[in-house]
Structure 1
Amino acid sequence: MVLLGLLGPSAVEPDFGPTATLPPWFVAGHPSDLLVWAAVAVVLLLGTAAVAAGLAALRRGWAPRPGRLLLAGAAAVGGLLCVPPLGTTDPLNYAAYGRAAALGLNPYVQTPADLAQHGDPIGRLALAEPWLHTPSVYGPVATATQWFASLLGGTSMLRTVWVLSVLSGAAFLATGALLLRLAGPDPARRVRSQLLWTLNPVLLWNLVAGPHVDTIGAFLLVAAFWAVRRSGLGAGLAVAAATAVKLTMGIFALPFAWGLRHHRRRLAAAVAAGAVSLALGYGLTPKAIGNARDVSSGAAADGTAWQLLERTLLVPVLGTSGAQSAMTVLQLLAVALLAVLLLAALPVPEEQDLPRLIARPALAVVLAYLLGTAYVRPWYDAIAWVLVALLARSWADWVLIAHTTLLTLVYDPGLAHLLHPAWLYSLVLQIAYRLVPWSQLLLLLAVVATCLWRIRADRIGRRVRRSGPPMQPGGVGGGS
């Protein structure tokens, strides 16, 4: 990843302007599209294999020191902060929104294209599709971080995105440290928390090399899990802050409320703190809600099974507008059905620990959302990785590994760029529009089948336990 960043602007690295004495550093290497695509594919495949190998070794008794894994993750983050962001143009948009806020403009109305038309130096470099003509869809906390980065970065795009990268890297490491604290004294669980988060190469790629706002949201959610043992007020504020990063993170309000149902005072404090905070935050930025709704109600994202359904059936039969209405209804039904199945099929934690009791229904709801919605990106999976790191090992680990890797493969190399040679561009299109969507459909069917099988096995187990042990020979009615 670091070597890719050092090679300078390419199909995986946007142009952030000239380098300077301080990081991030790069050279004008002009790597070929083929080299870049192959390197990103190797990163993803080896990264996925590393996570799988680590989990398998842990199950066989591997016992490294978890503190050393956290330090190794810190070294990886430090290395990635020495090079510009990779695999996404989102930091360009973040910088444009922050620049608009710093200039006293409204980032929920102004677009990166508007800044460019006024000759702003940040706007001229933020000309990246597909968000060029889209105002901010992020909450007030995300906008505050972008404003802060713009204040420090000024008219330098490179400096602005580097500040955003530092904030994202710090949030990533803080999340790993909190997960280590939440893991408790069990050595295997402590190691697991670091393998699934801090030393997960696929997450390092999506959340640090590509510094998305989801990293800050994930940190705030882990802070909510840490606070819920002590304070409903703290948990409510943390969930509200995460929701003020991205509106979709408000989905966590449901499992937190359910987990606190027997702790009425803490629940009341959490609800009051969260409601007041969100009312204040989104009251100041009301257009954020409408902007987020408009983006999520569009066409299905690349690499999802919904893309197949939309392209091959709904649009030909119902037309574009009819297909969008049908997609909305079908997504709601799919997410609801998946949530019910996952709630019944995911393993119940053995310990009566409040964060883990909340994490199980949260994982069911989040996985249902990620698998059942049409608009999803690989970095959206960050919140699900937090949850599996909190819980004991289960089949959900492998579902998430497959889901994140497949979605990330769609964004190899990551920029809206016409690749050369032509056969490489054709290959990338086949992966995005055929291989990954069909693989996601198979994954979805496998999840449904696994849920039904586990539900059936649990029912049979309960019947056996209710019927009691079998009659022994020689007992009542058992013979002579």
Structure 2
Amino acid sequence: MLLMVYLGLLGPSSVEPVFGPAGKLPPWFWNAHPSDLSIWVLVAMVLLLGTAAVAAGLAATRRGWSPRPHALLGLGTVGTVALVCVPPMGTTDPLNYAAYGRIAALGLDPYRVTPFGLAQTGDPIGQLSIAEPWLHNPSVYGPLATMTEWLASVIGGTSMLTTVWMLSLLNGASFIATGALLLRLAGPDPRRRVRSQLLWTLNPVLLWNLVVGPHIDGLGALGVVVAFWALRRSGLTAGLALAAATAVKLTLGIFALPFAWRLRHDWRRLAVAASASGLLLAVAYGLVPRAVRNAAAVSDQPVVGSPWPLLQRNLLRPVFGSAAGHLVPLVEVMAVAGIAALLLVALPPVDESDIVQMTARPALALAAGYLLGTGYVRPWYDAIAWLLVAMLPRSWFDPVLLAHTTCMTLPFDPGLPYPLHPDWLNGVVVQTGYRAMPYLQGLLLLAVLVIGLSRLRHKLAENTTAGAGLA
């Protein structure tokens, strides 16, 4: 975390956008003007050392290491506060969040007006928000996300730095609150409690994608974990929390399926949860119906590091020719369903008396199916999968998720969509993102399929043997 803070203090660079001049309040930074090469090396060190730290932590717990869980939460809180005190890095999304909030604060519609449209008016926030890839896109986020952006803009006014800091504070608070709730959900088991903090609060790869790069996914994750916390207490609260998460990002609505399945024997709680969440979402998205259309419009954009363009080029096009492009959505749906079904069988069993684990297991299968089976995935989308594995016992999927997040994040080193200097460095970054990482992700997907099929075959053999014994 110290290396991340140091990167932020260096000021605007190829990893840190320009948010305006520094003030007396955070975020603080110098104007050191570091070279692209030094930034690229430092970010790579952050990601690789962070990946190694997570792997080492998991290995140490298997060997009996048992630190105090509350101490881990405290360390994560201190680290998060320190990271919030430097500017966001690795992404230009905070610029877009600020632009959408400013558009709403001016009484305009962020689901129609783009950051470029705001910049054309001469607005100071708009002038600083001119950054790809969302420059010409209206908001694709849910109404609750837009509300937080509006509030940050009302407080920040014409200061991009203050507006972004307000968003970072909210995101950091959401991250720590999620870690605290995970600790509560882990119960009295010391190993589960330590695991919840190592995989969330003190996970450097996750900190980079959710706190250093304050993506709206952190707020969505908080809504999901509140829904899990409420499962043991109130169907109404669980439904409202899941609806709130869906009002942040529409795709989080997929978790209604495992929640409904777990509550299927308690029709009263299920009816209350479904009614409350359905009503809230109907009102929220009924007020901004274009949010759904905008989100769907960007879902087929190419993503650096994804293996799906590679599969389309090397498999679908040779087989189906010009029709391959039209088949991609169907193939993705089939892939998501197939991977999720396979993981439902292949993931280790959990404590059947624990409603949280019994819900988190199929939820992880769905989340993993989405992350591995669709082409439009960003590294910070993995946050929801990390949330779920932090609730579950140790499994073979832990290193798979760690590899997926790292391989999706490395193509975003340093993170801003601008050519790097010298030219050979830019070439390395392009080759890493569009050649090396897609192949690695393809191999990872293949490994998941092999492991899943192997475990499926093993279970079928066990069932056959058990059936023969009964006969």
TM-score under structure 1 length normalisation: 0.95
Paired residue for 2:345?
344
Q: Distance in 2 between matches of 1:348 and 1:401?
A: 21
Instruction: Confirm whether residue 407 of structure 1 aligns to residue 415 of structure 2.
Output: no
- Which amino acid letter does the alignment assign opposite residue 288 of structure 2? T
Paired residue for 1:16?
19
Q: Distance in 2 between matches of 1:407 and 1:415?
A: 15
Instruction: Confirm whether residue 230 of structure 1 aligns to residue 238 of structure 2.
Output: no
Distance 1:319 1:9, change over 3 A: farther
Paired residue for 1:475?
none
Instruction: Confirm whether residue 102 of structure 1 aligns to residue 70 of structure 2.
Output: no
**Alpha-carbon deviation of 1:344?**
1.2
Instruction: Confirm whether residue 171 of structure 1 aligns to residue 174 of structure 2.
Output: yes
Instruction: Confirm whether residue 447 of structure 1 aligns to residue 445 of structure 2.
Output: no
Paired residue for 2:136?
133
**Alpha-carbon deviation of 1:274?**
0.8
Deviations 1:17-37 (A, max 9, x none): 000001101111111111101
Paired residue for 2:439?
438
Paired residue for 1:391?
392
Q: Higher Cα Rg: structure 1 or 2?
A: 1
**Alpha-carbon deviation of 1:455?**
1.0
**Alpha-carbon deviation of 1:417?**
1.0
Distance 1:461 1:316, change over 3 A: closer
Instruction: Confirm whether residue 56 of structure 1 aligns to residue 62 of structure 2.
Output: no
Q: CA RMSD in A?
A: 1.4
Alignment of 1:118-129 (within 5 A): 118-129=121-132
Q: Distance in 1 between matches of 2:90 and 2:397?
A: 26
**Alpha-carbon deviation of 1:468?**
4.6
Instruction: Confirm whether residue 214 of structure 1 aligns to residue 217 of structure 2.
Output: yes
- Which amino acid letter does the alignment assign opposite residue 309 of structure 1? L
Distance 1:315 1:109, change over 3 A: farther
Paired residue for 1:303?
305
Q: Distance in 1 between matches of 2:329 and 2:32?
A: 45
Q: Distance in 1 between matches of 2:338 and 2:447?
A: 15
**Alpha-carbon deviation of 1:466?**
4.2
- Which amino acid letter does the alignment assign opposite residue 277 of structure 2? G
Q: Kindly indicate whether the alpha-carbon contact (under 8 Å) linking 2:14 and 2:36 is maintained by their aligned counterparts in 1.
A: yes
Q: Identify which range, 34-43 or 346-355, moves more after superposition.
A: 346-355
**Alpha-carbon deviation of 1:153?**
0.5
Q: Kindly indicate whether the alpha-carbon contact (under 8 Å) linking 2:351 and 2:357 is maintained by their aligned counterparts in 1.
A: no
Distance 1:8 1:316, change over 3 A: farther
**Alpha-carbon deviation of 1:418?**
0.5
Deviations 1:121-179 (A, max 9, x none): 00000000010010000000000000010011100000000000000000000000000
- Which amino acid letter does the alignment assign opposite residue 346 of structure 2? A
Q: Kindly indicate whether the alpha-carbon contact (under 8 Å) linking 2:351 and 2:358 is maintained by their aligned counterparts in 1.
A: no
**Alpha-carbon deviation of 1:315?**
6.0
Paired residue for 1:291?
294
Paired residue for 2:421?
420
Deviations 1:188-237 (A, max 9, x none): 00000000000000000000000000000001000000001111111111
**Alpha-carbon deviation of 1:263?**
1.3
Paired residue for 1:255?
258
Instruction: Confirm whether residue 2 of structure 1 aligns to residue 14 of structure 2.
Output: no
Q: Distance in 1 between matches of 2:212 and 2:330?
A: 36
Residue 133 of structure 1 aligns to a residue whose secondary structure is coil
**Alpha-carbon deviation of 1:456?**
1.2
Paired residue for 1:376?
377
Deviations 1:282-316 (A, max 9, x none): 00010000000000033x31111102123445568
Paired residue for 1:145?
148
Instruction: Confirm whether residue 46 of structure 1 aligns to residue 49 of structure 2.
Output: yes
Deviations 1:71-116 (A, max 9, x none): 0000110110110000000000000000000010000000000111
Paired residue for 1:474?
none
Correspondent of 2:30 among 23, 27, 32:
27
Correspondent of 2:84 among 74, 81, 94:
81
**Alpha-carbon deviation of 1:440?**
0.5
Q: Distance in 2 between matches of 1:142 and 1:350?
A: 35
Residue 390 of structure 2 aligns to a residue whose secondary structure is helix
**Alpha-carbon deviation of 1:465?**
3.7
**Alpha-carbon deviation of 1:333?**
1.1
Correspondent of 2:163 among 160, 164, 175:
160
Deviations 1:387-410 (A, max 9, x none): 000000101111110100000001
Q: Distance in 2 between matches of 1:37 and 1:145?
A: 32
**Alpha-carbon deviation of 1:464?**
3.5
Q: Kindly indicate whether the alpha-carbon contact (under 8 Å) linking 2:307 and 2:441 is maintained by their aligned counterparts in 1.
A: yes
Q: Distance in 2 between matches of 1:407 and 1:42?
A: 15
- Which amino acid letter does the alignment assign opposite residue 363 of structure 1? L
Return 5+ residue gaps in structure 1 as ranges: 470-480
- Which amino acid letter does the alignment assign opposite residue 337 of structure 1? G
Paired residue for 1:463?
464
- Name the count of aligned residue pairs: 467
Q: Kindly indicate whether the alpha-carbon contact (under 8 Å) linking 2:149 and 2:167 is maintained by their aligned counterparts in 1.
A: yes
Q: Distance in 1 between matches of 2:204 and 2:396?
A: 20
Deviations 1:398-453 (A, max 9, x none): 11101000000011110001101111111111110111000000000100110111
Paired residue for 1:473?
none
Q: Distance in 1 between matches of 2:120 and 2:314?
A: 39
Residue 244 of structure 1 aligns to a residue whose secondary structure is helix
**Alpha-carbon deviation of 1:13?**
0.2
**Alpha-carbon deviation of 1:467?**
4.5
Return 5+ residue gaps in structure 2 as ranges: none
**Alpha-carbon deviation of 1:324?**
3.2
- Which amino acid letter does the alignment assign opposite residue 309 of structure 2? Q
Residue 191 of structure 1 aligns to a residue whose secondary structure is helix
